[in-house]
Structure 1
């Protein structure tokens, strides 16, 4: 006997709610939509629509994954960021809405300074660099990461967004490749790992059990990558080039000190929509 959308939703709501998943209604709707290849609106307004056995089986399988706290975006295989639809999978960090503030600030600086050569460092899914390339016609973006999985996911997203002509994907341990090849940028933008090592274990199961540890952990004090990027950034940024970071909401002063120590100037911080410190930028006045 075939099930109907309303029946399957009711079942999904109960299962996920019992697991303490606050977003149980939305998650069940999205997972059933994936199983049926229908959008959420269709799922909501067609409660008497009959679902095939194969679609129901897929839905039950997705629910089991979500019961185990796998992030729903990994199950869906996609994530919206800056109004764009990005392919996502386990092994890369899921783009967060807070990071859109970083991209918006970068786009403004690119426009104001007529920048053309941009580096998205620790690119993950490529969400930052590809968004910049998509919303700016005359930039060239290098997306780099040390993770092979990240580079594969970025490559898929580059193709989906038809950005092959203006984006290059490079495997590099931070800025090592660009230093060795004497390459220069007008802007380096990065959302590096910045969570303290001893905090990782306190994160939600959805995060600590599924998102890549190496994309989360910023060392004992959470600042390891800021130090390395600030030091290496001086070697690849043009004069008056800009370095931009996403930061943890308690890291403004420490990251500011790191930038100041390395000679960066015009250091500033922008808050996210929750009024928490989120984006830091600084300018190189003298280059090596």
Structure 2
């Protein structure tokens, strides 16, 4: 089969399956399966080998069945960098890049600091910060063995073994992190109320790890633990930067945090929702 015929069939197949952005998905899948730049799909009409056809067919079948594109490709982009991802780890979101931007505004290139990335998942937040500011060092924390496996893969991919430690921890108050040893903590924790999980997009609900999404009854279960545990770890005046469910939850969290933290800033996401919050240790 020639490439242009395969491309036409692949796009049609994903359109018929109701896949989101079918043409885009088909082209990325073919680019990966054939090992050619996406732009080459516009003009290349060479013969597709049997092995290439098998790889393309397998990936297209998974995508047509609803598997997220990033899981099909085992790759996601975040803050301009490539990250390996797969089942068992949350796919990086574009809006989380805004949290990275805020951290870099506070700790720009050349500013030394030690920080923790809690609920590190794929490691995308910590790694993006370390790559953007070579003066930072970090520890990535997660309770999931699967997530930490992907974080370790990405740490090696970006050559950060000496600057990023990884720690498995399910209870922040018991984390073996020294007293007043961190300049800031950044986190994208599970913050969706349990009752809202059923209403998520099927690609998220049916494939991404619920432990990275489910924040308990109010979506604030882990935040309550953070506000108790983090003051010990942060230096005087240290910062806590977090992604949240939005406006109403931000108000609730600020009340929860008021004893140990003072609100510094609230950051809007691309939809005009207060998505990210920065607190300073009192």
Q: Same fold by TM (over 0.5)?
A: yes
Aligned to 2:102: 105
Number of the residue aligned with 1:240: 237
**Structure 2 partner of 1:256:** 254
Correspondence 1:1-288 to 2 at 5 A? 3-46=1-44, 48-111=45-108, 114-178=111-175, 182=179, 184-250=181-247, 251-260=249-258, 262-285=259-282
1:179 to 1:109, Cα distance in 2 relative to 1, 3 A: same
Query: Which whole-Å CA distance do the structure 2 matches of 1:239 and 1:73 have between them?
Result: 40
Report the CA distance between 1:87 and its aligned residue. Answer: 0.8
Per the alignment, in what secondary structure is the counterpart of residue 225 of structure 1?
helix
Counterparts of 1:30 and 1:222, CA distance in 2: 35
Instruction: Return the alpha-carbon distance in structure 2 between the equivalents of residues 98 and 150 of structure 1.
Output: 20
1:87-124 deviation line (CA, Å, top 9, x unaligned)? 11110000000000001101111239945110000000
8 Å contact from structure 1 (residues 264, 283) kept in 2: yes
Does structure 1 conserve the Cα–Cα contact (< 8 Å) formed by 2:141 and 2:166? Answer: yes
Indicate the RMSD between aligned Cα atoms, in angstroms.
1.7
Q: Using the alignment, how far apart are the partners of 1:78 and 1:44 within structure 2?
A: 22
Residue 98 of structure 1 aligns to a residue whose secondary structure is helix
When the two structures are superposed, what TM-score results if normalisation uses the length of structure 2?
A: 0.95
The number of aligned residues is: 281
Residue by residue over 1:40-76, the C-alpha shift from the partner in whole angstroms, topping out at 9 and shown as x without a partner, is 1112332x22211111111111111011110011110
CA distance in 2, matches of 1:113, 1:186: 15
Structure 1: 5+ residue runs without aligned partners?
A: none
Contact 1:121 1:174 in 2 (8 A): no
Contact 2:181 2:235 in 1 (8 A): yes
Higher mean alpha-carbon deviation, 179-188 vs 58-67, is at: 179-188
List per-residue Cα deviations over 1:186-232 (Å, max 9, x = no partner): 10000000111111111111111110010010011111111111111
Q: Give unmatched runs, 5+ long, in structure 2.
A: none
CA deviation vs aligned residue, 1:137-159 (integer Å, no higher than 9, x gap): 11110011111111111111111
Secondary structure at 1:43's aligned position in 2? helix
- Quote the offset at 1:280 in angstroms: 0.2
Distance in 1, Cα, partners of 2:156 & 2:61: 31
Scaled by the length of structure 1, the TM-score of the pair is 0.93
| Cα distance in 1, alignment partners of residues 152 and 108 from structure 2 | 26
Task: Measure, in 2, the Cα distance between the counterparts of 1:180 and 1:40.
Answer: 45
